[in-house]
Amino acid sequence: MYKCLYTLRYEKAKADYKSNLKKRRQKMHELFNKDSELLDQVPLKIEEDRYLRREQLREEIEELRKLKEIECKTLAKAGYRKQTTMNKDNYRPLLNKLYMQDLNAQVELNKQIKAYENRKEEGMAKMTWLPVGHDCGNGNTRPKRDLNEELRDAMAAREAKLSEIAKQKEREAEEMREREEVCLREKAEATKAAYERRAMLRGAFEQQIKERNQELWTKKVEDARVSAWLTSNANQQVLVMKDKSLHDKAIAKQRALDFFDYVKQLEEEKQLEEKRRERAMERIASDMMEANEAKQRQIREASQALEREIRQAQLKQIKEKEGRSIVPTTDGGLSFLDKMHADDGRRVDGARIIRQENSRYLQQQIAQKPSTALFEDWGMEGREFTRSPQRSHEEDLATYEYLNPLRKLSLKEMEF
């Protein structure tokens, strides 16, 4: 009877142990299957995160490019506005001072001219070898004085033209210097932004590496704990977990290598982008220099052609004047008065030709320029000139009105 009870208890304990063992194994298999599913989902999750990160980086790069274009356009507009108003801002504080300087210089010049004419007339009154018709009694000194005035007007026009060319060259040099400063500033800002971006990415990558190392360490500890727990139950399951751990380590190592390859590729793309930006800046600078050189060359060629035309016209006018002004004398030659009048006529015609050519050239230049360019030459916009426009020499040959707008007195009415 005792043997029967023992057998029953043994069979019952054995059945309970088998049932519990089966339940434990089933639960362990469920845990293993769940872990396997999670591990299989990890690569997909990492790939999805990588894709999302790549798209985010592309969007950020595109946004930075658009912001850069907007900033460049803003700088260009600001530079244009500054260039159009720079002469106005610089000239306004000195307007009264410059006007007084011009007025004082004009008064001093008139005094010197009057003193020179007085000395000349006094000297001519004392001369006894004057030719017939030029003695001190008749006061016929106006032709010589008119000739000096015309020569002085021609020299003043030439000096004004040279000063205008010098101002144009200075403005072009200032524009080139400002463009170089803008290029250097943009390059420095791009370098600073790239450095900050690189530092931020380095910090993010280091943080990701630390988190990944922490995950690997946690996984390693968990694997060790699970392995120790499984060792007490079955060697087969221990071997399976060991293989699984090795497989996970290999996958983690491969992921880390892929991550470092991605970082390296990103750095190479940044370097290529910097090189492309530098090449673009160099190309823009070279195009600007070539355009400036072509403009200077065109100006030189136009100036040379104009000088040749003026010289040919002067020679032609002088020859025609000589042919018209020669008067034969009774002894077969020119008299002293004819020679002197012919020389005076040639000089007057030469000065008039120079004045006409200069006026025609200035009118052509003004007609070719747009209205905005004329406003920029005056340093103002909207026809807010600081002084009245100058009249041509052909319209007003006997006044100083083109030099001083307030002076309306004719030279013929002035008493030298």
Please report the pLDDT score of residue 330 as a whole number: 46
pLDDT of residue 326: 52
Q: What is the pLDDT of residue 415?
A: 43
Reduce the DSSP state of residue 82 to 3 states and report it. helix
Q: What is the DSSP string of 12-45?
A: HHHHHHHHHHHHHHHHHHHHHHHHHHHHHHHHHH
* Contact between 153 and 355 (Cβ < 8 Å): yes
Q: Tell me, what's the pLDDT at 31?
A: 85
pLDDT at 230: 62
Exposed (0-12), middle (13-18) or buried (19+): which is 361, by Cβ within 10 Å? middle
Rounded CA-CA distance 119/125 in Å is: 10
Average confidence (pLDDT) per 10 residues, the chain, 416 residues? 68 86 87 83 85 88 88 84 70 71 80 81 60 47 56 74 75 77 83 83 81 84 74 62 77 83 84 86 85 86 85 83 60 53 62 74 65 44 44 46 46 42
How far apart CA 339 and CA 239 sit, in angstroms, is 130
- Sequence-distant (6+) residues with CB within 8 A of 358 are 154, 157, 158, 161, 393
Whole-number pLDDT of residue 395 = 47
The four Cα atoms 82, 83, 85, 91 give a dihedral, to 10 degrees, of: 120
This prediction has a pTM of: 0.20
* Nearest-5° Cα angle at 133, 130 to 137: 80
First to last CA, the chain: 165
Q: What is the DSSP letter of 389?
A: P
Q: Residue 163 is encoded by which pair of tokens?
A: 């000063």
pLDDT, position 135:
47
Structure tokens at 16: 């309970």
Cα–Cα distance, 157 to 395 (Å, whole number)? 14
* pLDDT for res 91: 66
